Chains A and B, each alone.
Chain A
Amino acid sequence: MGVKLESKPISKLGYINYQEGNIYYVFHQGNETCAEAALLAGCDFYGGYPITPSSEVAEVLSRRMPQEGRVFVQMEDEIASMASIIGAALGGAKSMTATSGPGFSLMQENLGYAVTAEVPCVVVNVQRLGPSTGGPTSPAQGDLMQTKWGTHGDHPIIALSPTSIQEVLELTIVSFDFAERYRTPVVLLMDEIIGHMRERVGYPRKQDINIFERKKYLEPGEDYKPYSLDYDSDVPPLLSFGEGARYHVTGLIHDEAGFPTLNKKEVTEWYDRLYRKIDKGLDRILLYELYNMEDADTAIISFGISVRVGLEAMQKARQKGLKVGMVKLLTVCPLPEEMLRQVISGVKKVVVPEMNRGQLVLEIDRLNKTGVELIHVGTSDGEIVRPEDVLKALED
């Protein structure tokens, strides 16, 4: 039993060069760290509508963005918020918004627009309980499937989910990198507990961060096609509107020049490239950490705050002599399917704690080709999953 696989931690990306002596330590909340990290990543534009439990992201940035000479706009609603960050990104800005449940629902149509028009932007969703206005102050992880499929039509999307406040800092920075590098919206999927929890965060200096910067110019004589098929990465550069080239942007499926098409060949080429650019980046995009999996006959698989519940349960189970390991998923869309298949087929039992009625567990079930026993430990009452309940599932 057991699985010998390497972790793919955030540090492998090499984006942040922590230099002891040049790290600023502070006891910060997830939401304020997300805001400060956006500034470090070079966010130029924030357009948003404050909503519990994400409001501190907007609150901090409403003060800090003008201090840094950058733009903060409180929009009239979340439909407009999402539209504003798309427009700002096309104008050359690194842009971001933050929201929660009801706002995330309103953003879905324009989120699809950003996917289709391939506009880099970062959308922070601090999840709260329930559909509709639900439980504004209660945590949940019920938006995982909405993050994957919330906007209509087949589409790839990238979503990252932090489990600590230091990871909020790091994954916010990574979100901007992935958005720019792959010309796609990136969802930073937090929850109320992570958003409001405080921990020590070590902030690097801005000069110690090295992330992808968009190419905003043309080589002499270069003909600009914003959706060109001619790039090895399958990510054509995105020139800023009004600078150097005229081009067309639409939510309709389009040809290489950006004009609408329903030509079967062009549609297929466009769709294939949309997926291919993410597939080609998977080695970089898929982030996860494995704990004690080498000798494990049982695996806990989770994301976000529930990872910490899993680690607590794993520790207690190990003290009792149970061979339990843990998979922490940092990238939740797309999922590291190959790794998960190997983990699942290498153990006798898989336990999935999550603050919902069963979402990640459906994905795990889909990957479970060997019929391994699969147990979901969920909550949907606004409370964190209890480690004792996970432990019970491990022992049963």
Chain B
Amino acid sequence: MDRFDVRLAGLGGQGLLLAGLIMGEASAVHDGKNAVQTINYAPLARGAPSRAELVISDSPIYFPEVEDADILLAMSQNAYDEFSSRVKPGGIIIIDTDNVTKFEEIPGLLKYPVSTIAKRETGRVLTGSIVGLGIISKVTGKVSADALRKAIRTRAPKGTVELNMKALEAGFII
């Protein structure tokens, strides 16, 4: 597998950094691939733009940052507006239709009510990013379901493992 650039974008409080960490740990520790996660590090708060960026590859990863992505998970309108043009040709955009309402119907655009699924399955909207990971795994096959399950067990905050596991499984069966 060549370099695969992932961008998870939305708002602070949507759990995007945790989702990036889980996907990175799943890839790097459990799937045996190389992975690098960089963070967009600025004074951030709940509700402000937030994103996690990750590169996965079977080869060594030199340049650590994501420029144009192979996959964009857009969890907010702002994230879609800012990053939908930063996707490689043939890349995939997954939008949370609960939050992204203005978008262009283009090949490679996938629409799911991610927040609604999260709320329905776990009672918490903020597990939406983990639902998103499940969808990414299902759609791209770049990170395995088992690796994601293992990473949730070690990385989800105490007391939220079952909750996040439910969100992940919901993403797998979309």
Residues of A with C-beta under 8 A to B24: 27, 198
Q: Tell me the complex Cα distance, A315–B3, Å.
A: 13
* Least distance between B44 CB and chain A CB atoms (Å): 10
Contact B35 A193, beta carbon cutoff 8 Å: no
Please classify how large the interface on chain B is, using the bins under 10, 10 to 19, 20 to 34, 35 or more: 10 to 19
Residues of B with C-beta under 8 A to A309: 62-63
Residues of B with C-beta under 8 A to A387: 63
Q: Tell me the complex Cα distance, A50–B41, Å.
A: 17
Residues of B with C-beta under 8 A to A308: 62-64
Contact A193 B38, beta carbon cutoff 8 Å: yes
Tell me if A22 is interfacial: C-beta within 8 Å of chain B. no
Find the A residue at minimum CB distance from B41: A137
Interface residue from A26, A193, A197, A384 paired with B29 (Cβ < 8 Å): A26
Q: Tell me the complex Cα distance, A25–B35, Å.
A: 13
Interface residue from A53, A198, A305 paired with B37 (Cβ < 8 Å): A198
Q: Indicate whether A197 sits within 8 Å of B41 (C-beta atoms), given known contacts A26-B25, A27-B29.
A: no
Q: What number of residue pairs across chains A and B have CB atoms under 8 A from each other?
A: 55
* Least distance between A325 CB and chain B CB atoms (Å): 14
Q: Tell me the complex Cα distance, A305–B65, Å.
A: 11
Contact B63 A312, beta carbon cutoff 8 Å: yes
Contact B41 A192, beta carbon cutoff 8 Å: yes
| Interface residues of A, dominant DSSP | mixed
Find the B residue at minimum CB distance from A27: B25
Contact B37 A27, beta carbon cutoff 8 Å: yes
Q: Tell me the complex Cα distance, A384–B37, Å.
A: 15
Q: Tell me the complex Cα distance, A53–B40, Å.
A: 13
Report A309-327 CB contacts with B as 1/0, cut-off 8 Å: 1011001000000000000
Tell me if A199 is interfacial: C-beta within 8 Å of chain B. yes
Interface residue from B25, B39, B41, B64 paired with A305 (Cβ < 8 Å): B64
Q: Which of A264-314 contact B (CB under 8 A)?
A: 305, 308-309, 311-312
Residues of B with C-beta under 8 A to A137: 41-43
What is the number of residues of chain A that contact chain B, defined by CB distance less than 8 Å? 20
Which of A199, A305, A311 counts the most B-chain CB atoms under 10 A from its CB?
Answer: A199
Tell me if B36 is interfacial: C-beta within 8 Å of chain A. yes
Find the B residue at minimum CB distance from A314: B62
Q: Indicate whether A312 sits within 8 Å of B25 (C-beta atoms), given known contacts A27-B35, A196-B41.
A: no
Tell me if B161 is interfacial: C-beta within 8 Å of chain A. no
Residues of A with C-beta under 8 A to B42: 137
Q: Tell me the complex Cα distance, A21–B62, Å.
A: 27
* Least distance between B86 CB and chain A CB atoms (Å): 14
Find the A residue at minimum CB distance from B155: A27
Report B117-157 CB contacts with A as 1/0, cut-off 8 Å: 00000000000000000000000000000000000000000
Tell me if A200 is interfacial: C-beta within 8 Å of chain B. yes
Find the A residue at minimum CB distance from B67: A386
Tell me if B110 is interfacial: C-beta within 8 Å of chain A. no
Contact A200 B34, beta carbon cutoff 8 Å: yes
Which of B35, B38, B41 counts the most A-chain CB atoms under 10 A from its CB?
Answer: B41
Find the B residue at minimum CB distance from A305: B64
Interface residue from A25, A27, A193 paired with B64 (Cβ < 8 Å): A193
* Least distance between B6 CB and chain A CB atoms (Å): 13
Q: Tell me the complex Cα distance, A27–B32, Å.
A: 11
Other than A26-B29, A198-B36, A312-B63, give 5 A-B pairs with Cβ distance below 8 A: A27-B35, A53-B41, A199-B37, A308-B62, A312-B62
Write the residues of chain B forming the contact surface with A, with a CB cutoff of 8 angstroms: 21, 24-25, 28-29, 34-39, 41-43, 62-65
Q: 6 A-B Cβ contacts within 8 A?
A: A26-B29, A198-B37, A200-B35, A305-B64, A315-B62, A384-B64
Instruction: State the 8 A-B residue pairs at the shortest beta-carbon distance, nearest first.
Output: A200-B28, A27-B25, A312-B63, A312-B62, A198-B37, A311-B62, A308-B62, A137-B41
Write the residues of chain A forming the contact surface with B, with a CB cutoff of 8 angstroms: 25-27, 53, 137, 192-193, 196-200, 305, 308-309, 311-312, 315, 384, 387
